[in-house]
Amino acid sequence: MTGKALTKNPSVLAWVDKMIALVKPQQVVWIDGSQEQIDALREEGCRTGEMIRLNQEKLPDCYLHRTAVNDVARVEDRTFICCPEEKDAGPTNHWMEPSAAYKMLEDIARGSYQGRTMYVLPYSMGPVGSPFAKYGIEVTDSIYVVLNMVIMTRAGQAVLDALGDSADWIRGLHCRCDIDESKRYICHFPQDDTIISVNSGYGGNVLLGKKCFALRIASYLGHKEGWMAEHMLILGVEDPKGDIRYVAAAFPSACGKTNLAMLIPPETYRKKGYKVWCVGDDIAWMRIGPDGRLWACNPENGFFGVAPGTNEKSNPNALASTRRGTIFTNVAHNLDDNTVWWEGLDKNPPRNALNWKGEKWDSTDGSKGAHPNSRFTAPAKNCPCVSPKFDSPEGVPISAIIFGGRRARTAPLVYQSEDWNNGVFVGSIMASETTAAATGAVGVVRRDPMAMLPFCGYHMADYWAHWLDMGRKLGDKAPKIFHVNWFRTDDEGNFLWPGFGDNLRVLEWILARCEGKVGARKTAIGYVPHVDDINREGLDVSRDTLAGILNVDKGLWLQEVDGIRAFYARFGDRLPAELTRQLDKMDAALKA
């Protein structure tokens, strides 16, 4: 282990010294990213009980971790944007005045590493040296965080070498403290390039490169610098001719990004030669390229995916990604063969097992083995369909942007916006049922614009204005914008659309629309497919059912209009007039 600083960068050294003085660690370890160091940390994590080494024949280099039972998801009500003026955080963010926030956080952090090790972890979001890349340093007292960050980002010495003497990097302090919920705070200081997270050990709260940096801080930087940071997967669809077109899709947490990003085409498509390539499953950074098109890069290097529901049928690529070098969090532990299990993996829950809390578990009593927000942290390179462009410094060109949510009714399977501005409107009015990815009630419909409600680092109305502005700059090279909903149900709550691999049928229509190769039906909300233009070959859905989920129910949409007006009213004068105009237009079309 190395106690010696791995850089001479004065801004880095000064900040690390300041952190040392604050949290008072017993020792300091710089993470160089070497295999020896990772192995030693795994060893150490197993010794302290933070990690459990799994069956090394069945799951080589795989580990299990359990968080505290009060610390299993993102905490949106304890997540703050600490910009100088409250009005600039906007009505959808929690705000704290920066100097008050620093004081409160420093009081919590002070001395909290006593007797513990401080890990200093340099990491890059985006391939090191790429024009997209931005660097960060996370200081943490958790081996679990280090081992996750090493999978989720490009971490180690190469990052410091690329950073050189620059002061342009994101400062991140994480302190586990006592995992005390009442003192848990996830705070962002966009003006200071700083993130401070205390009293949590769960993924999205503590892997500071992910939601904190790559979305909240990066969305602020994107607004300032003219690019976009979005909660989007990126995938490429290869057609039988070998042409690949890329789409980016924003769905709220636990609404299907990882699954869509790695989908396996239905058999009829596979036979014809279709392939899907995964570029990213959660976050997209997008810039206008030299050719005037929108180019996207996945700043991450791994997948922090939802475990429950992942199986050989629903997502074999995700499952394959988790077979080596993976950290499982809050899943069930099969003691017979020292492997892992979660609901929806297969129909045979282990008999001799511990649940996600580490308690002896009997599946026949109806309790869950894995937490609904249990996760795997898997290296992207494990994924059988990882795109050859995964490390491409310039990213991939985007043909279509897709918004989507979890709506039992209202939203049809797919529709296309009329143009970019109308597409921004479609994104701004997104709504979805809440999931276990964040603490709080599950299954409640809420507005989640662009799937960014919990992740936008500044005023949401300014964010929408930024989207409109990007459209002006892109002009006729702008991607086409669509909306999908895989989650329509019947009266008994059964899904009407099979989803997963079959979602390629919808992607095919979307790409055909981008190229003007297929017609559509104009409705009050946008363009909906003619029923027979969605390929039903080999699909277990009747024409009537398909027609039903493509239907736009005017009554339900008029109720939506009321909800949207109330939502928009919260943004006052800052709401772009264009969005009100779009809403009035939809309202009038519904009433016509």
Which residues have a catalytic role annotated? Answer: 255
Biggest distance spanned by C-alpha atoms of the chain: 71
- Is residue 282 at the binding interface for ligand SPV, with CB under 6 A as the rule? yes
Does 154 participate in binding ligand SPV (rule CB under 6 A)?
no
Calculate ∠ Cα 315-316-322, nearest 5°. Answer: 100
Q: Which of residues 55, 70, 314, 535 is near ligand GTP by CB under 6 A?
A: 314
Stretch that binds ligand GTP, among 110-118, 164-172, 251-259, 545-553 (CB under 6 A): 251-259
> Are the beta carbons of 193 and 170 closer than 8 angstroms?
yes
Q: Identify the residue among 136, 308, 404, 529 touching ligand GTP (CB under 6 A).
A: 308
Closest separation between CB of residue 437 and ligand SPV, Å? 4
Q: Pick from ligand SPV, ligand GTP, Mn ion, none: which does 204 bind, CB < 5 to 8 A by kind?
A: ligand SPV
Q: Judge residue 10's burial from the number of C-beta atoms within 10 Å of its C-beta, 0-12 exposed, 13-18 middle, 19 or more buried.
A: exposed
Q: Residue 503: name its binding partner from Mn ion, ligand GTP, ligand SPV, none (Cβ under 5 to 8 Å by kind).
A: ligand GTP
Residues 160 and 125: beta-carbon distance below 8 Å? no
Give the 3-state secondary structure of residue 172.
strand
Tokens of 222: 């994107």
Between 32 and 71, CB nearer to ligand SPV: 71
The whole-angstrom separation of Cα 468 and Cα 452 is 16
- Contacts with ligand SPV, 303-342, as mask; x by CB under 6 A: -x--------------------------------------
H helices of 78-141, in order, are 86-89, 98-109
Among 75, 152, 306, 332, binds ligand GTP (CB under 6 A): 306
Render the burial of 568-585: b for 16+ CB within 10 Å, e for the rest: beebeebbbebbeebbee
Q: If DSSP codes are grouped into helix, strand and coil, which group holds residue 403?
A: strand
Stretch that binds ligand GTP, among 109-117, 264-272, 418-426, 495-503 (CB under 6 A): 495-503
Q: Does 253 bind ligand SPV (CB under 6 A)?
A: yes
Asked if 309 is part of the footprint of ligand GTP (rule: CB under 6 A), the reply reads: yes
Please name which of 583, 441, 453 lies closest in space to residue 91, comparing C-alpha atoms.
Answer: 453
From residue 236 to residue 255, the character string flagging contacts with Mn ion as x (rule: CB under 5 A) and all else as - is -----------------x--
Contact 433, 406 (CB under 8 A): yes
Looking up tokens 């009747």 gives: 542
- CB 109 within 8 Å of CB 198: yes
Nearest residue to ligand SPV, using CB?
204
Q: Output 213 or 304, the one with its CB closest to ligand SPV.
A: 304
Minimum gap (Å) between residue 99 Cβ and ligand GTP: 33
Rounded (to 5) percent helix, strand, coil in the chain: 35, 25, 45
Least distance CB 104 / ligand SPV (angstroms): 23
Q: Is 423 in the site for ligand GTP (CB under 6 A)?
A: no
**Which range touches ligand GTP (CB under 6 A), out of 36-44, 115-123, 220-228, 250-258?**
250-258
CB neighbour list of residue 92: distance below 8 Å, 6 or more residues apart: 453, 456, 460, 570
**Residue 74 CB, nearest distance to ligand SPV (Å)?**
5
> What's the CA gap between 451 and 79, in Å, rounded?
16
Tokens 């002061």: give the residue: 167
Q: Quick one: which of 142, 153, 197, 253 contacts ligand GTP (CB under 6 A)?
A: 253
Stretch that binds ligand SPV, among 77-85, 99-107, 202-210, 521-529 (CB under 6 A): 202-210
For the chain, how many helices (H) and strands (E)? Answer: 17, 31
If the CB atoms of residues 227 and 251 are measured against ligand GTP, the closer one turns out to be 251
Identity of the residue numbered 433: E
**379 beta partners:** 302
Site membership for ligand SPV, residue 204 (CB under 6 A)? yes
282 binds Mn ion (CB under 5 A): yes
499 binds ligand GTP (CB under 6 A): yes
Q: Which stretch in 91-99, 280-288, 314-322, 485-493 sits in contact with Mn ion by CB under 5 A?
A: 280-288
Of 96 and 414, nearer to ligand GTP (C-beta) is 414
Applying the rule CB under 6 A, the residues between 270 and 299 that interact with ligand GTP are 281-282
Binding site partner of 309, from ligand SPV, ligand GTP, Mn ion, none, Cβ cut-off 5-8 A by kind:
ligand GTP
Q: Which CB atom, from 223 or from 231, has the smaller least distance to ligand GTP?
A: 231
Distance CA 349, CA 369 (A): 8
Are 171 and 144 in contact, with CB atoms under 8 Å apart? Answer: no
- Pick one of 42, 65, 171, 257: the residue that binds ligand GTP (CB under 6 A): 257
Q: What's the angle, vertex CA 428, arms to CA 211 and CA 583, rounded to 5?
A: 170
Spell out where 100-202 has E strands: 117-125, 134-140, 154-155, 170-175, 185-189, 194-198
How far apart CA 347 and CA 354 sit, in angstroms, is 17
Residue among 313 and 351 whose Cβ is closer to ligand GTP = 313
Instruction: Choose among 500, 62, 489: nearest CA to 310.
Output: 500
Q: Residue 63 or residue 303: which is nearer to ligand SPV going by CB?
A: 303
Q: Residues interacting with Mn ion, by CB under 5 A?
A: 253, 282
Q: Residues interacting with ligand SPV, by CB under 6 A?
A: 74, 203-204, 210-211, 253, 282, 304, 437
